[in-house]
Structure 1
């Protein structure tokens, strides 16, 4: 898991990562992961990260499902899966209704994407434009559908509730059509919650796991997907898994790459690897480390020359990173046989120049 405030003045994302969903059966073998992307403040996103899981488990459908699972030795049948889907939908709706009475949640909103992983299934609930992506071998990719006001189904509900879609936003303002909070868009007295301008009802996806082909799942906010498609993200993650054993380093690489690509939003990403995920390749890792060592030499030489220049004023001057890229290119260090992410030269240069006290842009 990794998160980054990015260029925003505050951090409004929150998340859950519970590898053991609950200590009580049958949930000891289940996991729960979720990302909440807040807007107009972090309050309801934070509340969701602290309370949504317990709220779901304590719901009537989950209690009934637990009883059925105990009767069926933990096996997920069609009946239990239907209860699970219904429980997620009703749980989201009731959590939103209860949160309406919390004063600090009145003004803020958040999207939500959660994933329950069982030994046999992946169950995903999605609300808004955060997204879950499941990648498999041979380029297989599954991704949840974003809830945007300009989507036909969402537009129809918005207009039937008396609103409009302008500049791809609800009433020209809100960029998502389903979310927790945003109660000023949920005040039509004659309409149920799922028919308001902004709906708190999630889409629920149920997928059987395949141990031979499922590689990994990414649960992330739209700060990632603003600059990467599902396919680009999956390919990037596959490539970084080959050089990192620690998933946190893979997650950090994704966020750094998105920042360099121009993402301006908060970014949060949770990653889960399955047995078929790519494993680290020692030769590939060593080759990349050797490449990084050569780039470090170039950056330090640039810093030495900059600091030694009579025209350079350390307290006032800001240097461009472009000469570093020019030198890396001239040295033939943009290899075609290694899949080096574009952010590495940038982040490496920034780190070294910061350590040397050279301001940069």
Structure 2
């Protein structure tokens, strides 16, 4: 598999960081992001100002810029990143990995699937000289936003978010209100195997039964098989 993940519950004295990266074209970009995201995030202006949403957006762009000198041009990764500070939850994502937050028993999508044939995404791709065929950028990549994938970011006259494949994340915020609230971050392998409501009901029931989050994740993966 070309996936990587990151859990740092003590990014600082107040903040926890969790992320999943679903690589393609090799593990290079996913592994690079999992290793370097904490330091890149803490070096952003947004982090210094206490603006976590801005820090995540800046970190995605900074990671993407640094990847070009560290990973093959054909390598890329989706990225779903969550920050938790107190009861404040912020999730940023590019690609089709998904973050779902269950609060008070109700599910809330914290990410957007970035599909090449979505109207706004396709307009950007075509404007940058690309095309969409059978839901893929240039008949190749099935996500319209990702980190890495430098081969789709070659127009020097366009900003990063105007390239055929954009590293610009969508960012959403929520607040946890109950000890039974939970956030689930998974790559598309989970969501393509089981319906969202089935996944979330499974996880909630296992957590309420007393299983640890690690055991719940293991049980979820077994349930997919």
Q: TM-score range by the shorter chain?
A: over 0.9
Specify which structure has the higher proportion of strand. Answer: 2
Deviations 1:259-294 (A, max 9, x none): 2xxxxxxxxxxxxxxxxxxxxxxxxxxxxxxxxxxx
Aligned equivalent of 1:40: 25
Q: Distance in 1 between matches of 2:105 and 2:67?
A: 43
Q: 1:198 aligns with which of 151, 155, 165?
A: 165
8 Å CA contact retained: 2:105, 2:181: no
Aligned equivalent of 1:15: 5
Cα shift at 1:244:
4.5
Q: Distance in 2 between matches of 1:40 and 1:188?
A: 21
Cα shift at 1:242:
4.0
Superposition misfits of 4+ residues, deviation over 6 angstroms: none
Q: Distance in 1 between matches of 2:178 and 2:74?
A: 43
Q: Number of residue pairs matched?
A: 225
Consecutive unaligned residues of structure 1, counting only runs of 5 or more, are 1-10, 23-27, 66-82, 260-361
Q: 1:209 aligns with which of 147, 171, 176?
A: 176
Cα shift at 1:249:
1.9
Matched, 1:227 2:181: no
Q: Distance in 2 between matches of 1:247 and 1:183?
A: 35
Bigger radius of gyration among the two: 1
Q: Distance in 1 between matches of 2:79 and 2:211?
A: 28
TM-score normalised by structure 2 residue count:
0.94
Specify which structure has the higher proportion of helix. Answer: 1
8 Å CA contact retained: 2:101, 2:110: yes
3-state SS, counterpart of residue 191 of structure 1: coil
TM-score normalised by structure 1 residue count:
0.60
8 Å CA contact retained: 1:141, 1:231: no
3-state SS, counterpart of residue 216 of structure 2: helix
Aligned equivalent of 2:104: 137
Aligned equivalent of 1:253: 219
8 Å CA contact retained: 2:104, 2:178: no
Cα shift at 1:87:
1.9
Q: Distance in 2 between matches of 1:208 and 1:242?
A: 20
Aligned equivalent of 1:89: 57
Aligned equivalent of 1:57: 42
Cα shift at 1:30:
1.2
Pick closer, same or farther for the CA change 1:254–1:144 going to 2, 3 Å: same
8 Å CA contact retained: 1:132, 1:217: yes
Q: Distance in 2 between matches of 1:117 and 1:47?
A: 22
Aligned equivalent of 1:99: 67
Q: Distance in 1 between matches of 2:72 and 2:10?
A: 28
Q: Distance in 2 between matches of 1:59 and 1:49?
A: 17
8 Å CA contact retained: 1:244, 1:250: no
Q: Distance in 2 between matches of 1:136 and 1:208?
A: 8
Aligned-CA RMSD value: 1.6
8 Å CA contact retained: 2:73, 2:150: yes
3-state SS, counterpart of residue 94 of structure 1: helix
3-state SS, counterpart of residue 251 of structure 1: helix
Deviations 1:103-125 (A, max 9, x none): x3432100000000111200001
